[in-house]
Structures are given as structure tokens and as C-alpha cells.
């Protein structure tokens, strides 16, 4: 059995990870850490876990984790993970970090977009970007994974086949992204109060959202050239889910069928990517680790329009982290994740 610890177990992503781990046949949860709820049972905070995960939450401690764990998931805010992960890594633990702290290849890009100084740049150089569909072989050999978030996962996978195959112009890509409220985390904030976010929709951080840089990093690697794009996120009144609509100009005319064939070839061996002949909906992936992708061609403008959707808490966080763990320990990639969405 793989001995697993989760630091930050009572946030949305951490709690979802615990739920998934409870159904994973090859893992044993040995530590659950929460600064806020230390001393209380996990099942007292999340009563859906009563009788399933009654572990007492504790304060994070690197020495205890080293003694009890083979791998640790850190579901902590960015800027908080640095020092904890430095200690864990020094003790020989495999670490999968759900913050943005270890997702970047260039420390200057991270510090510019996050506005903080990175505490351990030497580890940033060792970390692997944990998007399994693009970096599978590197992930298998890694000891530190920067687990991608929801906007980035959906946006990158939605455009990857087009960019990798040189099908689209790279100078004017536009991504319009929408997220459910759980994407903002479990902390209290005025903008996520029910009365503030229900029956409305709003754009935020236009042209300044930090995930822009992460999307650009990965698409630039696929394209073999620097890509700068426009990314606009929106908050929509639903609990969970991401839907992105992506616009790119084609280098030459293509039919919808030709482009779908490119996608189907690119993702032919991917368990969790479903290429659709129709356009995807959030309800069909909620509660699952799947990515649904569809597209159409605007022949008047010679432009492709891609629509992709994921569950922000699963493929956009906890499920992706579990997928990374499976790769690290040479397990079937789908172990603990092979379930359909809720649908309704």
C-alpha cells in the first residue's frame, strides 16, 4: 500500500482528494493536516465521510510525514507551499503540489505573475509540470510535481492538438473561460457569498490573470515558439465546472471533420480526453476526471472555435493529482478515477 498524506485536507481540493483516495485500492491515508481544524476528525468537518474517513486532523510536520508517508499532496495556497515542500523534499518524500508554486520553468515568470519571491528556486528547476497527457514520461521519473490547476488544464488541452500540429496562427489566440464558484476556494470572501454570485455572471482579472502565463508556457513548448495570448476568466453561478471557448485563426482552410481527426489522433491513447462530434456541456463531466472537447469552424473568418470542459475540483485539481500519483508509482493511470460524471 502507498502511504499518503494530504496537507491542506479541508480545502475544497484537499477534501475532494481525500474522497477520491478513500476509493483507491492501493493507498492508505496516514496523515491529514489542517491548521484550522487540527484535533478534529475529518468526518466531523465533512460528514459525508463519516464511517469512511474518521482520521483526526493534525498540524503539518515534515518529520512526521517522512516517517509515515511515501507521498504527500500539498493542497496549500501559493506562497505557503515553498518552505513546507522544501522540508518534505529534503527528507526524500515524493510531493505533488496543488498550488502554483512549482508549475513554472522560469522563476522570473512565476515571480512576475504571482508577485512573490520564490523561496526555493533550486526545487523549481527539478519540478515537473503535472499535465499527464503532455508530460507523462517525465512525471514517472519525478519526485516533485507541480499539479496544474483548472483553467490551465482545460485551456491547454483544448488547444494542444492545433498548436502542436501547426494548424493555427499563434499571434492572436483568445480564450474565454468560465468557472464555478468552488474554483475560488473554501475561504470566505464577499464575491462568493450566495447573494453576490447567484443569478449573475462577471469577468475578472482581464488581461492580468496569473494562469495566462502558465497556459502560454505550455503552448509555447508545443509550438516551438513564444506564444502570447488573451485570457479572460468569468465567474458563473454554479458550484463546480470549467468551460472554455477558444478562438484561433487557421493557417489554411480546414473542415470540421479534418480538425476533429487531428484531435482524435492526438488523444487516441488518452483515457480521460474525449473528443466529441458535438459541443460539450459541464453537466457531462461534473464529478469525473474527464476532459470533453468539441469544435466548429467559422468558414467566413477561417477560424476554429474550440469548446472544452472539465470538473475544476477533479481533473482541475484532485483527480489530476491522483492521476500523477498513479504515474509516480507505476499504477494504472485510471486507478481510483474510472467513474462517469454525475450528469444531474
Dihedral pair phi/psi, residue 45, rounded to 5°: -85, -40
Residue 185 in this model has a pLDDT that exceeds 80: no
Q: What is the predicted pLDDT for the residue at 228?
A: 97
Confidence of residue 186 (pLDDT cuts 50, 70, 90): confident
Distance CA 14, CA 16 (A): 5
Nearest C-alpha neighbor of 62 from the set 97, 101, 90: 90
Q: Indicate which residues carry an active-site annotation.
A: 150
CATH numeric code, 2-148+315-328: 3.40.50.720
List C-alpha distances in Å: 38 to 33, 42, 86: 7, 9, 22
Which residues, in sequence order, are CB contacts of 221 under 8 Å at separation 6+? none
φ, ψ for residue 39, nearest 5 deg? 95, -15
Q: Which of 15, 57, 12, 50 is nearest to 32 (CA)?
A: 57
* 74 three-class SS: strand
pLDDT band, very low/low/confident/very high, at 193 (cuts 50, 70, 90): confident
pLDDT tens by residue, 9-63: 999 999 999 999 999 999 999 999 998 999 999 999 999 999 999 999 999 888 9
Condensed to tens digits (0 to 9), the pLDDT of residues 305-315 reads 999 999 999 99
Residue 242 — pLDDT band, cuts 50, 70, 90?
A: very high
What are the residue ranges spanned by the domains of the chain? 2-148+315-328, 151-311
The predicted-structure confidence for 72-128, as pLDDT tens digits, reads as follows 999 987 777 777 899 999 999 999 999 999 999 999 999 999 988 888 889 988 999
Tell me, what DSSP letter sits at residue 32?
A: E
For the domain bounded by 151-311, which CATH number is listed?
Answer: 3.30.360.10
> What are the two backbone dihedrals, phi and then psi, of residue 257, each rounded to the nearest 5 degrees?
-65, -40
The per-residue pLDDT for 344 is 78
pLDDT value at residue 199: 85
Amino acid at each position: 500500500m502507498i502511504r499518503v498524506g494530504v496537507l491542506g485536507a479541508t480545502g475544497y481540493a484537499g477534501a475532494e482528494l481525500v474522497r477520491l483516495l478513500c476509493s483507491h485500492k492501493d493507498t492508505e491515508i496516514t496523515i491529514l493536516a489542517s491548521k484550522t481544524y487540527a484535533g478534529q476528525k475529518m468526518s466531523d468537518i465533512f460528514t459525508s465521510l463519516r464511517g469512511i474517513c474518521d482520521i483526526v486532523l493534525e498540524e503539518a510536520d515534515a518529520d512526521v510525514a517522512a516517517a509515515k508517508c511515501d507521498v504527500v499532496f500539498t493542497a496549500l495556497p501559493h506562497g505557503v507551499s515553498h518552505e513546507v515542500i522544501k522540508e518534505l523534499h529534503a527528507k526524500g518524500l515524493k510531493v505533488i503540489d496543488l498550488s502554483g508554486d512549482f508549475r513554472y520553468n522560469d522563476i522570473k515568470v512565476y515571480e512576475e505573475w504571482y508577485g512573490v519571491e520564490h523561496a526555493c528556486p533550486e526545487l523549481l528547476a527539478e519540478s515537473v509540470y503535472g499535465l499527464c497527457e503532455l508530460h507523462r514520461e517525465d512525471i514517472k521519473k519525478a519526485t516533485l510535481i507541480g499539479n496544474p490547476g483548472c483553467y490551465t488544464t482545460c485551456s491547454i488541452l483544448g488547444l494542444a492538438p492545433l498548436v502542436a500540429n501547426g494548424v493555427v496562427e499563434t499571434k492572436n489566440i483568445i480564450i474565454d473561460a468560465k468557472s464555478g464558484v468552488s474554483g475560488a476556494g473554501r475561504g470566505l470572501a464577499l464575491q462568493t457569498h450566495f447573494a453576490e454570485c447567484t443569478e449573475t455572471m462577471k469577468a475578472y482579472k482581464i488581461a492580468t490573470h496569473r494562469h495566462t502565463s502558465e497556459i502560454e508556457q505550455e503552448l509555447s513548448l508545443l509550438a516551438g515558439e513564444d506564444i502570447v495570448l488573451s485570457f479572460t476568466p468569468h465567474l458563473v453561478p454554479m458550484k463546480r465546472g470549467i468551460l472554455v471557448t477558444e478562438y484561433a485563426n487557421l493557417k489554411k482552410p480546414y473542415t470540421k471533420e479534418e480538425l476533429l481527426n487531428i484531435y482524435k489522433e492526438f488523444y487516441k491513447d488518452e483515457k480521460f480526453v474525449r473528443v466529441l462530434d458535438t459541443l460539450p456541456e459541464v453537466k457531462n463531466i461534473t464529478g469525473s476526471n474527464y476532459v470533453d472537447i468539441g469544435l466548429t469552424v467559422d468558414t467566413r473568418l477561417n477560424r476554429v472555435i474550440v469548446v472544452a470542459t472539465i470538473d475544476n475540483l477533479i481533473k482541475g485539481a484532485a483527480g489530476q493529482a491522483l492521476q500523477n500519483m498513479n504515474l509516480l508509482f507505476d499504477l494504472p493511470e485510471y486507478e481510483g478515477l474510472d467513474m462517469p460524471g454525475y450528469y444531474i
